[in-house]
Amino acid sequence: MKVSDQTSKRFRELELLVAQIPIKGDGSFRAVANGEAFQSWASSAMHIVSAVFGNDSPHYKNLSFAYSKFNGWEADFLTMKGIFLGAKSDYDGGYLFKLEAAISGEIFADFVVLAKNALANNQKDVAAVLACAALEDALKRCATINGLDVSGKEMYDVINALKAKGLVSGPQKTLLDTMPKFRNAAMHADWQKITQPDVGSVIGFVEQFLLTQF
């Protein structure tokens, strides 16, 4: 199961759990059950909101502040519930991809480290393949995260889609135009067309791309 699918599933589970927490009392003295069920839900809700949106996000800050002021009253409970459901709505609507992007960045960074190590050990061809694989997958994930459908498309088409949406510009845009040719040489084992400085340039580009996009 993908990270995004697991996250959506967990949001749905917590939405069902919060709906089952009973509210007791009458009139102005109505209070929510301040026990195991609420504490369990609140901890899980803050955990997932933090993981997806980050501790500096309005969603998490508001949820954390509401929890710190929670005294068991219905109004306090409904405030927390509302903040959580707002976060879930934003995630379901595709308005934030912090978690997926961060994980993607970590994965590609691992590939870059492997490519750099291979290059340092004079394994130019291995480094070229690793760097190109990281770059191509990073470009496609960047496009997908930003709402572009690039499934099954070649690197050249993915680059054009990113440029058309303004996701790459300036020197980065110019360098990207040279990448499909390098990628084709690496993936078709045309090793004589690839030099060690070329591989170093691609690795450097991927590192910069990861910093700016992920």
Tell me the per-residue pLDDT of 116-141, one tens digit each, with 9 for 90 and over. Answer: 888 888 899 999 988 888 888 888 87
Domain residue limits at 129: 98-213
Co-location of 129 and 180 in the same domain: yes
| pLDDT tens digits, 169-184 | 777 778 888 888 888 8
pLDDT of the residue at 53: 83
Which of 92, 117, 142 delimits the end of a domain?
Answer: 92
Q: Is the dihedral of CA 158, 161, 166, 172 positive or negative?
A: positive
> What is the number of other CB atoms lying within 10 angstroms of the CB of residue 106?
11
Co-location of 165 and 112 in the same domain: yes
Q: pLDDT-based confidence at 106, cuts 50/70/90?
A: low
pLDDT of the residue at 107: 55
Co-location of 55 and 130 in the same domain: no
pLDDT of the residue at 27: 57
Co-location of 82 and 109 in the same domain: no
pLDDT of the residue at 17: 94
Which of 69, 92, 115 delimits the end of a domain?
Answer: 92
Which of 44, 59, 92 delimits the end of a domain?
Answer: 92
Co-location of 104 and 87 in the same domain: no
Alpha carbons 15 and 94: distance in angstroms, whole number: 18
Q: Which burial class, exposed, middle or buried, applies to 152 when counting CB atoms under 10 A from its CB (0-12, 13-18, 19+)?
A: exposed
Alpha carbons 164 and 130: distance in angstroms, whole number: 27
Co-location of 76 and 174 in the same domain: no
Co-location of 134 and 174 in the same domain: yes
pLDDT of the residue at 188: 86
Co-location of 83 and 149 in the same domain: no
Structural domains of the chain, count: 2
Query: Is residue 88 over pLDDT 80?
Result: yes
Alpha carbons 134 and 110: distance in angstroms, whole number: 9
Co-location of 102 and 88 in the same domain: no
Q: pLDDT-based confidence at 68, cuts 50/70/90?
A: very high
Co-location of 86 and 102 in the same domain: no
Average pLDDT, the chain: 82
Which of the two residues, 19 and 172, has the higher pLDDT score?
19
Residues 172 and 212 sit within 8 Å (Cβ to Cβ):
yes
Which of the two residues, 9 and 211, has the higher pLDDT score?
9
Helix/strand/coil for 31: strand
Co-location of 125 and 186 in the same domain: yes
pTM for this one?
Answer: 0.50
pLDDT of the residue at 7: 84
| 10-14, 29-33, 157-161, 197-201: range with highest mean pLDDT | 10-14
Q: Which of 54, 114, 42, 123 is nearest to 80 (CA)?
A: 42
Co-location of 63 and 116 in the same domain: no
pLDDT of the residue at 153: 86
